[in-house]
Chain A
């Protein structure tokens, strides 16, 4: 900090903003990258099977892939269109 800086109005430090933006972005991109490549296909085929029995929208199915040190979890979340809009979860 220089003498003149001392008298200048304190500005937000842009490097801190840059770091924060990067941390969020990179974390997001890393999880995307680690997803198995078959996920979109899996989602499509599952939807086809389910549609044989119940009418659900594309958005009614979400496929989430999570990874930690000792296990990988594939979470399928299917919202069935019944009266209560109740959620049923299937974990593989």
Chain B
């Protein structure tokens, strides 16, 4: 059985596409045939983060409209042959995405793939609702910041009422928290919401904390998902996320600050 994962947040710029690219790559690297779909119609970006922007010929909307077959539109990843990308269309017509059309494509993908990762657009408009409608699991990407936590809570409400599982009274969508752009030093000094603060409000199963890291930008500059960067904390944190999702028990890390004695002494301001 294929599992459909939606990466969602409500708020923009919190790391949905970075997370989608990273976990899709992580799952594929573990040997699971994985497809990752960009639901952000009109503003596609997953292709850039995955580094396949020059190989886009057909897109999601073309497949829905029957202008191309799924196999024509899927792009095989250059780093991992178990990973395929279905890019969003650049059309400005948001109505091109239909509930029935998305359902048809997901059903066809489910025959061949183990995991289908849906990269949701920001907001609570049609694209975001369609990205989560068919989901089995939801990765709620949250920054330790007021507006992001509020929007995440809003998305949890939508998952609980507007998803197919909710409509059919089936077992609810499994919701997981990914706390991204986390800065343990700022948490420690009381300038940033900490893991416990966020969990007091959202109380979700924590898949991982992704520390604020320069390597995320470096990775997107190069079009290589950050999870492939073994030297980066963000990359390692995403590797943990994938392992935990697949059932491995790994202790959480990157929660505490790791400053050296002298930086601690001078409060990191020197």
Residues of A at the B interface (CB closer than 8 Å) are: 2-5, 13-16, 18-19, 21-23, 25-26, 29-30, 33
Contact = CB atoms under 8 A, between A and B. Distances in A.
A4 B189 CA distance: 12
B266 A4 contact: yes
B266 A29 contact: no
A22 B264 contact: no
Interface in B181-197: 187, 189-194, 197
A13 B191 CA distance: 6
Given A22-B150, A25-B150, A14 B266 contact: no
Given A14-B190, A33-B157, A22 B201 contact: yes
A29 B194 CA distance: 22
15 contacts: A2-B265, A2-B267, A2-B268, A4-B269, A5-B189, A14-B190, A15-B197, A19-B200, A19-B201, A22-B149, A26-B149, A29-B150, A29-B154, A29-B157, A33-B157
Contacts of A15: 187, 190-194, 197
Contacts of A33: 157, 161
A13 B190 contact: yes
Kindly name the residue among B145, B153, B268 whose own CB sees the greatest number of chain A CB atoms within 10 A.
B153
B200 to A, nearest CB: 7
Contacts of A3: 265-267
Given A18-B146, A33-B157, A2 B194 contact: no
A13 B150 CA distance: 20
A30 B157 contact: yes
Interface string B172-183: 000000000000
Contacts of B154: 29
A25 B130 CA distance: 27
B107 to A, nearest CB: 30
Size category of the B interface is: 20 to 34
A29 B155 CA distance: 12
B163 to A, nearest CB: 15
A30 B202 CA distance: 11
Contacts of B145: 18
Contacts of A4: 265-267, 269
A18 B200 CA distance: 13
A26 to B, nearest CB: 5
Contact of B200 (A14, A23, A29): A23
Contacts of B161: 33
A3 B193 CA distance: 23
Contacts of B146: 18, 21-22
Contacts of B149: 22, 26
A26 B197 CA distance: 13
Contacts of B150: 22, 25-26, 29
Interface in B219-239: none
Given A19-B200, A23-B200, A29 B193 contact: no
